[in-house]
Amino acid sequence: MGIVNRTPDSFFDRGKFFNLDDALTRAEQLIFDGADVIDVGGVKAGPGEDVSVNEEIDRVVPVICALKKRFDVALSVDTWRSEVAREAYAAGALIGNDISGFSDPEYLKAASQAGATVVATHIRLAPRVPDPDPHYSEDDVVGAVCDFLRARRDEALAAGIAAQCIILDAGLDLGKTAEQSLALLRASGRIASIGQPLLLSASNKTFLGTLCGLSIDERREISLAAVALGVSLGCRVVRVHDVKGTRRVIDVLEAIISS
């Protein structure tokens, strides 16, 4: 899953692909590099200036429309708003990637009506809300995340989403300390045992930088290491900035495991 952030304040690319033409060029390169899915987002997860629903739609839908016409690739919309998801599905998106854990009560209904796949992500508070000192009951972040994701899976099933159309994401860095995110990465096998495909979104994230003392621009290799570990433990979807490097890592792992 290649990342296209059409935001002026993305934590990684810092608005480099905010212009529509630049976003499309970025997506084209990711597809050429081997992406199976392009995940288009219009609002960053962290704190920032308010973005209206209409503005978010204006950011993501033109990208999805253009990619749908030009490429045979699955398209995902990175949003927690049902209104944005509906417009994205109408434009051709097949996946709703919701980092809020279905906080919008209409989100699953929109996905069900569109026949879309959904990503259920764990987050402790809410998107865009600072969470500098997160705590979990009995210091069991893995147990808390597993319980949360089971509940979101059940909620999606009750809304009419088919089991094969529900993906889970532990939400590394989202309301977690570096140590908590590392614990969740190590526990990927346990989380995958819930029974749904597990998405890993670790690319260039803060917990990796904290672990190695590296800035955002220096995290390529450690992001690939996280992918290798996550996939070996059971992650089956990886959301990344470096599609070419990640594809090579996964191809090697597949060859080793299947030999």
Task: Report the pLDDT value the prediction gives residue 12, as an integer from 0 to 100.
Answer: 85
- The residues near 33 (Cβ < 8 Å, ≥ 6 apart) are 2, 243, 244, 247
Percent of the chain's residues with pLDDT above 70: 100
Task: Report the pLDDT value the prediction gives residue 68, as an integer from 0 to 100.
Answer: 97
Q: pLDDT digit string (tens) for 116-153?
A: 999 999 999 999 999 999 999 999 999 999 999 999 99
Among candidate residues 236, 239, 244, 247, the one labeled active-site is 239
In this prediction the pTM is 0.96
Query: Is 239 one of the catalytic residues?
Result: yes
- H or E segment and range at residue 155: helix 141-158
By the 8 A CB rule, do 170 and 142 touch?
no
CA distance 218 to 30: 20
Q: In terms of CATH architecture, what is 2-258?
A: Alpha-Beta Barrel (3.20)
Task: Report the pLDDT value the prediction gives residue 103, as an integer from 0 to 100.
Answer: 97
Percent of the chain's residues with pLDDT above 90: 94
Q: pLDDT digit string (tens) for 3-50?
A: 999 999 888 888 899 999 999 999 999 999 999 999 999 999 999 889
CA distance 231 to 66: 31
| Average pLDDT, integer, range 51-64 | 98
Task: Report the pLDDT value the prediction gives residue 258, as an integer from 0 to 100.
Answer: 87
Task: Report the pLDDT value the prediction gives residue 259, as an integer from 0 to 100.
Answer: 82
Among candidate residues 26, 81, 86, 205, the one labeled active-site is 205
C-alpha distances out from residue 188 to 171, 212, 244, Å: 12, 21, 23
The mean-pLDDT minimum among 12-26, 59-73, 96-110, 155-169 falls in 12-26
Q: pLDDT digit string (tens) for 210-243?
A: 999 999 999 999 999 999 999 999 999 999 999 9
By the 8 A CB rule, do 172 and 143 touch?
no
Return the domain boundaries, the chain. Answer: 2-258
Query: Is 205 one of the catalytic residues?
Result: yes
pLDDT-derived band at 257 (thresholds 50, 70, 90) equals confident
